[in-house]
Amino acid sequence: MDQEPLNLFVENLLRESKLNLPTDFKAQYIEKLKEQVNRRLGIALMENLDEAALTEFSELMSVEPQPDFRAVEKFYQEKIPNVEQKIQAALAEFATDFITASQK
């Protein structure tokens, strides 16, 4: 996910969860949370790829240096119908899970 929307998503998530994090810990927590969001998105998107596309994705990611965000985004857009809706659904599910867990 592009960094600016990811930052906004995480900031909104923390605000909605009403977590009270110590200032010295908050920056670390935000970085870990962004990693979790990206991981969840990756899993959600990969579930929509067929075997051929999974092989192609593996080849794409095995080159050095690894492709930038735009190249990966283009790949997903070409291979997954309605990818934006699937991204939004995965983000909504993550937000629900996170907020529910933070309320316990």
- Overall domain count for the chain: 1
Structure tokens at 22: 């110590």
Contact 15, 30 (CB under 8 A): no
Q: What is the pLDDT of residue 25?
A: 92
Q: What is the pTM assigned to this prediction?
A: 0.84
Cα–Cα distance, 30 to 7 (Å, whole number): 9
> pLDDT confidence of 4, banded at 50, 70, 90?
confident
CB neighbourhood size of 28 (10 A): 10
Neighbours of 49 (CB within 10 A): 16
At residue 1, the pLDDT reads: 63
11-42: pLDDT as tens digits: 999 999 988 889 889 999 999 999 999 999 99
Segments forming the whole domain that contains residue 79:
3-16+23-102
d(CA 71, CA 91): 21
What's the chain's average pLDDT?
A: 92
For the four alpha carbons of 9, 28, 43 and 19, in that order, the dihedral sign comes to negative
